[in-house]
């Protein structure tokens, strides 16, 4: 389970009081078992010390990519109150965001009040679990305005999923047949294309593995087989590998346990429950 959030911070410790360097602090929490822990965090505030990013909103799509929206301005009056967005792919280095994109640029400063942007929010469209929607405030003409903007990561909406069955196998090397997984390769959001499969898992030493077939046009099913378990040590390891469509990649991962010769070693092959 995942949770993400953001708040505004001063990213320059040399500034304080009325003179600060405002930036958006964002974070991702993950829960394994019953405990939440910090998975990654970052501070987003590109530009000079005079540039400020505030009124942030953050969300995560169905593939684990993160989108961040915000209002921005600077005290040099070269950037009037505007709206920008950025984001990161799930495989990007932790704590990083991409170069910002301007959603709409303001045209003048706010005058006559120190109140700005009561509300801002980033949400994911439930129709595809990929499209980000952000709403925030900027200054256009003689008064404030709001803008709704949307964007999507190509890797989410134009892609595919890999689903292994079973998720876990337990085998006895001398008595059981070679463990086999069935992997469904399915397009998302109507995407169609050719997917190539290759083995990127951590197999037991001395074993070999293969996909049959090694690729195809989605939707299709492939078999993943691990062979030569006779010399493998007991223990559990992750098996599987990625599917690739151009530079887009997804990973299917199964769990393989090689049992000792005692106890359940003499039972038939079956998935762990």
Q: Which domains does the chain have, with CATH numbers?
A: 2-156 (2.120.10.10), 158-266 (2.60.40.2310)
Average pLDDT over the chain reads 78
243 bridge partner residues? 197, 250
CB 160 within 8 A of CB 185: yes
Across 110-120, average pLDDT: 78
- For the cut 80, the answer to whether the pLDDT of residue 138 exceeds it is yes
Q: With bands split at pLDDT 50, 70 and 90, how would you rate the model's confidence at 15?
A: low
Nearest to 65 by CA among 248, 254, 192, 246: 248
Place 176 in a pLDDT band, splitting at 50, 70 and 90.
low
pLDDT of residue 163: 81
The pLDDT score that the predictor gives to residue 261 is 44
- pLDDT higher than threshold 70 for residue 154: yes
- Residue 7 has a pLDDT of 77
DSSP H/E element including 221: strand 220-227
Give mean pLDDT, residues 6-33: 74
pLDDT at 215 over 80: yes
- Tell me which residue of 249, 229, 252, 130 sits closest to 177, measured CA to CA: 229
- Rounded to two decimals, what is the model's pTM? 0.59
In this prediction, residue 18 has a pLDDT band, given cuts at 50, 70 and 90, of low
């Amino acid at each position: 389970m995942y949770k993400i959030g953001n708040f505004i911070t001063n990213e320059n410790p040399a500034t304080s009081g009325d003179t600060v360097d405002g930036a958006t602090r964002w974070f991702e929490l993950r829960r394994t078992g019953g405990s939440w822990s910090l998975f990654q965090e970052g501070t987003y505030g590109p530009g000079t010390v005079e540039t400020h990013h505030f009124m942030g909103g953050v969300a995560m799509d169905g593939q684990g990519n993160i989108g961040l929206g915000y209002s921005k301005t600077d005290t040099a009056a070269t950037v009037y109150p505007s709206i920008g967005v950025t984001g990161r792919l799930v495989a990007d280095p932790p704590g990083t965001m991409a170069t910002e994109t301007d959603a709409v640029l303001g045209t003048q400063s706010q005058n006559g009040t120190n109140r700005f942007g009561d509300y801002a929010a980033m949400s994911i469209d439930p129709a595809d679990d990929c499209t980000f929607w952000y709403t925030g405030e900027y200054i256009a003409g003689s008064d404030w305005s709001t803008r709704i903007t949307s964007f999507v990561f190509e890797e989410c909406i134009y892609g595919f999923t890999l689903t292994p069955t079973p998720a876990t196998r337990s085998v006895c090397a001398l008595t059981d047949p070679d463990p086999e997984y069935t992997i469904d390769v399915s397009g998302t959001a109507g995407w169609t294309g050719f997917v190539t499969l290759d083995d990127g898992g951590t197999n037991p030493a001395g074993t070999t593995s293969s996909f049959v077939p090694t690729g195809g046009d989605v939707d299709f099913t492939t078999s993943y087989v691990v062979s030569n378990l006779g010399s493998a040590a007991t223990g559990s390891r992750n098996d599987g590998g990625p599917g690739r469509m151009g530079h887009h990649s997804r990973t299917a991962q199964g769990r393989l346990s090689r049992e000792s010769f005692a106890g359940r070693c003499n039972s038939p092959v079956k998935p762990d429950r």
